[in-house]
Amino acid sequence: MKKIFKILGGLLALVAVAILGFVVWVQARGIPTYDPPKMAVQPVAITPARVLQGEKIVTAMCADCHLDRSTNALTGKFMNDLPPEFGKIYAANITQDKTHGIGSWTDAELVGLFRTGIGRDGRFRMVMPNFVHMSDEDVNSVIAFLRSNNALVKAQPIPSHEQEPSFLGKMLVNTVMKPTPVPAKPVLDPDTTDGVAYGHYLVVGRYKCYECHSKDFKTNNALVPEKSEGYLAGGTRLLTPTGQEILSRNITCDEETGIGDWTEAQFVQAVRFGQGPNGPLKLPMPKFTLMSPQEARAIYAYLHTVPKLKNATAEDGGGTVATR
Ligand code: HEC
Ligand code: HEC
């Protein structure tokens, strides 16, 4: 008997040492640093068409985090819609200021960050999404817009806030949140005349609907989005701007719990203007106001080819949001 206790005690001590070691390792590493990605990128030619396309993408995909309402520019802000257990995370100033913004970043450094999540100094950028499947041309358009004379990106000398991740935040950034590899091949534009292919690109590449609309950020698959758990069937926990928990909804075409009974016109209205058939959609569902009707219709066509999943979220009377 005594011997067993001794062995158990020894095992417990080992486990305790292992946990302590892990805690010390995570604290010491903090936000990890990697080799900055080496990108073979030509300087991006700034054309009016790219600036226009870039505006559409940046207002839909970047402004929610980087726009500060008090400057009305992309000067960054405290991310108050992030669950507080991750710590305090701040989106950076991405205006053209050479010291505090991205005015001195090269095009290759920007592309490197968008593709991998690693900054030019090697520091991993937490929470900043990576754009693995965005086409090279769309990435170029984003850069052209960031270099344009739009008021959103005009140089403003406002320092970016340092990140203050909690222990959990540091743990995640050392375990599940990882840089993504530099794409091995050019990422081509989709065939926009093929509705389903175009819609697929919009859902995983340009607008990343799948990221919010699958089961959980933690089980999303950045490299093969379709392998994300509960792909497009909703359930990811998010916060409204006033801090209430909200679940993303099922946008597969399951008739009962998804959008299988929606008409194309209802869908286009919901995505572009936030007006669903049963009432307005709450933030953080973005309003894709600059999205063209053709894009919204392509997404609708693609969603009709995605495997239907049954997942009742709050509006179907299921999956009620847990209160903390
Ligand atoms: C979910 C919120 C979120 C979205 C969406 C987002 N970002 Fe960020 N971004 C951040 C955060 C947070 C940081 C700072 C991360 C850090 O310092 O670790 C950041 C950092 C950056 C940086 C690095 C700046 C620096 O000085 O380090 C650039 C450039 C950038 N974002 C551009 C963009 C662009 C362009 C888009 C849209 C295509 C975008 N971001 C979308 C949250 C976001
Ligand atoms: C930042 C996270 C986020 C992103 C990105 C996002 N959504 Fe949503 N979406 C939500 C949330 C949260 C809701 C639920 C809103 C509510 O309950 O009022 C929602 C609701 C919807 C609905 C209503 C479904 C229903 O049953 O009422 C549709 C349709 C939809 N989103 C489509 C899209 C499409 C298409 C995209 C990409 C172009 C997209 N969403 C991107 C978070 C997001």
Which ligand 1 atom lies nearest to the CA of residue 90? Answer: 12
pLDDT surpasses 50 at 225: yes
| C-alpha angle 250-252-254 in degrees, rounded to nearest 5 | 95
Residues contacting 137, CB < 8 A, separation 6+: 189
**What pLDDT does 319 receive?**
56
| CB-ligand 1 contact for 60 (6 Å cutoff) | no
Q: Domain 195-316: which topology?
A: Cytochrome Bc1 Complex; Chain D, domain 2 (1.10.760)
| CB-ligand 2 contact for 237 (6 Å cutoff) | no
Ranges of each domain in the chain: 48-174, 195-316
pLDDT surpasses 70 at 323: no
- Nearest ligand, CA of residue 126? 1
Tens digit of each residue's pLDDT (9 = 90 or more) over 281-291: 999 999 899 99
Segment 72-78 shows an average pLDDT of 97
Q: How far is the CA of 31 from the centre of ligand 2 (A)?
A: 31
- 75 pLDDT band, cuts 50/70/90, is very high
Residue nearest to atom 24 of ligand 2 (CA): 249
- The alpha-helical segments, DSSP class H, found in 106-208 are 107-116, 136-146, 167-174, 195-201
Residues contacting 25, CB < 8 A, separation 6+: 174
Residue with tokens 């870039």: 54
**What pLDDT does 58 receive?**
97
- 180 pLDDT band, cuts 50/70/90, is very high
Ligand 2 binding pocket mutation candidate from 285, 288, 315 (most atoms within 8 A of CB): 285
Tens digit of each residue's pLDDT (9 = 90 or more) over 293-315: 999 999 999 999 999 999 988 77
pLDDT surpasses 50 at 11: yes
- Same topology, domains 48-174 and 195-316? Answer is yes
Ligand 1 binding pocket mutation candidate from 31, 50, 61, 65 (most atoms within 8 A of CB): 65
**What pLDDT does 297 receive?**
98
Give the closest residue to 215 by CA, choosing from 238, 231, 239: 231
Ligand 1 binding pocket mutation candidate from 56, 125, 209 (most atoms within 8 A of CB): 125
User: What is the architecture of the domain spanning 48-174?
Assistant: Orthogonal Bundle (1.10)
| pTM score | 0.92
Tens digit of each residue's pLDDT (9 = 90 or more) over 229-288: 999 999 999 988 888 999 999 999 999 999 999 999 999 999 999 999 989 999 999 989
